[in-house]
Amino acid sequence: MPDPFIDALPPGKERYTTVTGQPIAAHLDADLSFVPSRSLTLAYARAIEVLDAEETEFLLGASAVVVLSCLAGGIVGRLLYGRWRPFMLLGMGNLFTVVGLVVVVILLGPALEGTRQERRKGALRKFTFCVAVAVVYPALVLIAKFLLLLPMVGHL
């Protein structure tokens, strides 16, 4: 299980009880009562623990890299060049690190260049695309990590 989830869990893996009462000691004349309940945050953390098992970790991690690489390529392509799909596919080159992205863009980049004017700007476009994906991809990874941890914040 990832460390942020371990840190957020209560001690032990057993059920736990939250005790609430009146805050002023002079008013503590009532008996304590316990109402069994489930913590949604604890259930979420345990679900993440199941997903983090050795059997699923590689498959889910690889899937996340594919999805985030495609998103990074698509977002950069849409913002810089007004086209999503071809750049999304080029973003998959990020699966083989930034070097792989550069190689894929060099090899498949000419397919994206339509007009003669675009061909002249081809090298700059390819460089810009690679640098932008190299910036957007880590940002998407941080956003994804934040969104995974968000349900844990302030509930335990």
For residues 33 and 16, is the Cβ–Cβ distance under 8 A?
no
Containing structural domain, residue 132 = 3-152
Look at residue 34 and give its three-state secondary structure.
coil
What is the pLDDT at residue 113? 60
Look at residue 154 and give its three-state secondary structure.
coil
What is the pLDDT at residue 138? 94
**pTM, whole model, 2 decimals?**
0.64
The total number of structural domains in the chain stands at: 1
Look at residue 116 and give its three-state secondary structure.
helix
The pLDDT tens digits for 9-44 are 556 555 555 556 556 666 666 666 666 667 777 777
The pLDDT tens digits for 112-142 are 665 566 666 677 788 888 899 999 999 999 9
Closest CA to 68 of 152, 150, 145, 151: 145
For residues 100 and 69, is the Cβ–Cβ distance under 8 A?
no
The residue count for the chain: 156
The pLDDT tens digits for 48-105 are 777 777 777 788 888 889 999 999 999 999 998 888 888 888 888 888 888 888 888 8
